[in-house]
Amino acid sequence: GENVEQHPSTLSVQEGDSAVIKCTYSDSASNYFPWYKQELGKGPQLIIDIRSNVGEKKDQRIAVTLNKTAKHFSLHITETQPEDSAVYFCAASKGNGQNFVFGPGTRLSVLP
Amino acid sequence: DTAVSQTPKYLVTQMGNDKSIKCEQNLGHDTMYWYKQDSKKFLKIMFSYNNKELIINETVPNRFSPKSPDKAHLNLHINSLELGDSAVYFCASSQDFSGGTQETQYFGPGTRLLVL
């Protein structure tokens, strides 16, 4: 089955700096890659996603890149703010829900 | 307007008891899910329901059973609770299970289960 790895497990950055979180997946049939943000005591919230027919997607300060050949995708957050502090999860899916597998998460701390 | 809601938010119970967690979504979605998040924050899918049919049943103990009285609800029943069942359980929903552009899953706030 699908296996999703995520690095780093923890990340601390200064406010205003950029943060990058990387994920790799094992199943080449996966074609949908969402990123979720989970704040303390809350459920995961989708922040951006990308499909296999696209190499990059951007939404304001957040961008995701996908390298299908290498089977890895990354989340980029620019101009980080304290409210970006949370646990971020990547996930991979074949698009039918059966292999919606999450990475282990990255705890991001943005220091003021 | 809460999109996906769960009750209760906290559940503390004794080993061996039977408990239920309720989930409701007002998004008109076709598919609902249950996830378990352990103490290390690892999220693992447990079940999904599409049009009142169970279409995923991951390798979870049969003490866990999803019940869907209608399209907007997917409740989780747990029998003979064990210490290892302590975790946060999340309900989620999505519009289309078949991989269309609306596969985004929307999560509820979670139910924190503690088995003593």
Confidence of residue B1 (pLDDT cuts 50, 70, 90): low
The answer to whether the CB atoms of A43 and B45 lie below 8 A apart is no
Confidence of residue B83 (pLDDT cuts 50, 70, 90): very high
- Chain A residues in contact with B44 (beta carbon < 8 A): 102
Give me the pLDDT at residue B108, please.
96
Rounded to whole angstroms, how far apart are CA atoms A4 and A42? 23
What is chain B's mean pLDDT, rounded? 88
The answer to whether the CB atoms of B94 and A97 lie below 8 A apart is yes
B5 shares contact with chain A (CB less than 8 Å)? no
Sites in chain A below the pLDDT cut of 50: none
Give me the pLDDT at residue B98, please.
56
Give the closest of B40, B41, B48 to A97, CB-based.
B48
String of b and e for A11-39 (b: at least 16 CB within 10 Å)? bebeeeeebbbbbbbebeebbbbbbbbbe
- Omega before A82 within 30 of 0, i.e. cis: no
Rg, chain B, Cα only: 14
Q: Is B36 helix (H, G, I), strand (E, B) or coil?
A: strand
Give me the pLDDT at residue B102, please.
45
B15 shares contact with chain A (CB less than 8 Å)? no
Determine how many CB atoms are found less than 10 A away from the CB of residue B82.
12
Give me the pLDDT at residue A94, please.
81
Rounded to whole angstroms, how far apart are CA atoms B39 and B108? 18
pLDDT tens profile B29-44: 888 999 999 988 899 8
pLDDT tens profile B55-72: 767 678 889 999 999 889
The more confident residue out of B101 and B12 is B12
Give me the pLDDT at residue B45, please.
87
Confidence of residue B53 (pLDDT cuts 50, 70, 90): confident
Taking CA–CA distances from B103, the nearest residue in chain A reads A95
Average pLDDT over residues B2-10: 93
The secondary structure element, H or E, covering residue A25 is strand A19-25
